[in-house]
Structure 1
Amino acid sequence: MFLELIAVIFAGMAGGGLMAIIIRFSGSRLPKWLTPVAAGGAMIAATVSSEYSWFSRTTVTLPEGFVVVETVETSAIYRPWTHVVPLTERFVALDTASVQSNPSHPDLRLAQVYFYGRWSPLNRLNVAADCGKGLRAALTDGISFDDAGSIEGANWVSARDNDPLLDAICEAR
């Protein structure tokens, strides 16, 4: 965040400085108020560019085996450009290397899911998926496994049809 602030400040200085040079070389025929306007425009452009490139910059750095399962796009009234092209602020990634299954319960899978957010810390959640029944559950405190490998104490929820997370977990391995 701090580096982005520095980048925006430098973009403003560069935009204002470039306009000042253009005004000077035009023989002062252009109004001087264009200098702060150019600086502000460069700062807005740098901010918008940084916001829209966050998702692609972050997904490029994902470890091998991570698959983006779902994205969350938003629009905001204070960012009018997001009504034209929505902004990806969050996404969910599955670590396909973490997917585990039990031979005695072939439809049951365990996996690690990561939640990325633009201005939020990375969160990890262990998830159980029952591929045969279309159910999934977050593995939190109070969950246990019996001797046969069944999960006890899980709060199973029905996944919607074509649930991207459930589909990705069931297709892995």
Structure 2
Amino acid sequence: MIWHLIAAVFAGLGAAGIGLLLRTLSGKRLPRWIIPALAGLGMLGYQIQTEYSWYEHKRSLLPDSARVVQVEQDAMFWRPWTYLFPMTTGFSVVDTQSMSVQEQEGERRVEFLLYRFEKQVQDRVSHQAWLMNCATRETLPLEGEAREPRLDEMRRLGEQAPLYRALCEESD
């Protein structure tokens, strides 16, 4: 986080330098406030660029076996530009290398880890073990070391759900 602060300061200094150069080239006809205004715009521009490139940067760090199954975009009132261009604030990933497939009673069951990435002041990553029955499209979380199924949180996915397609259709 300190590196982002340093980069924002240097973006502001660079933009202020451009303002100073423009003011000098205009024979000082441009107002003096152009320099701090451009410095502020430079810092704001850097921050916006960093926030919008967060998802692509995190996705580029994932292994090839990771499949993004959900992306969340949000708009915030203190960032009014996000109403026009929503910003990615979180996404979920399945690592297809770490899943285990079992055939029981003619039904295919896949045990997998679902990773959740959230953009906050400090990025948050969490993971949860899940079990999916590919025949019924039912999925439920597994809890603890013994991986006990939590039946009260069972849910059924649609046929076009990215999680279902990543686990059941593409690994047939």
Structure 1 residue 51: Cα displacement? 0.6
Distance 1:104 1:76 in 2: 46
Aligned residues: CA RMSD: 1.8
Amino acid at match of 1:13: L
Aligned: 1:125 with 2:128: yes
Aligned: 1:14 with 2:14: yes
Q: How does 1:5-154 map to 2 (within 5 A)?
A: 5-105=5-105, 106-119=107-120, 120-141=123-144, 143=146, 153-154=149-150
Match of 2:156 in 1: 159
Unpaired stretches in structure 1, ≥5 consecutive residues: 145-151
Moved runs in structure 1, 4+ residues, more than 4 A?
Answer: none
Structure 1 residue 25: Cα displacement? 2.1
Q: Is the 8 A contact 1:142 1:153 kept in 2?
A: no
Structure 1 residue 112: Cα displacement? 1.2
Q: Is the 8 A contact 1:69 1:93 kept in 2?
A: yes
Name the SS for the 2:144 alignment partner. Answer: coil
Structure 1 residue 101: Cα displacement? 1.4
Structure 1 residue 143: Cα displacement? 5.0
Tell me the TM-score normalised to structure 2 length: 0.88
Unpaired stretches in structure 2, ≥5 consecutive residues: none
Amino acid at match of 2:150: A
Structure 1 residues 131, 102: closer, same or farther in 2, change over 3 A?
same
Q: Percent identity?
A: 27
Q: Is the 8 A contact 1:135 1:157 kept in 2?
A: yes
Structure 1 residue 153: Cα displacement? 4.2
Amino acid at match of 2:131: A
Structure 1 residues 73, 51: closer, same or farther in 2, change over 3 A?
same
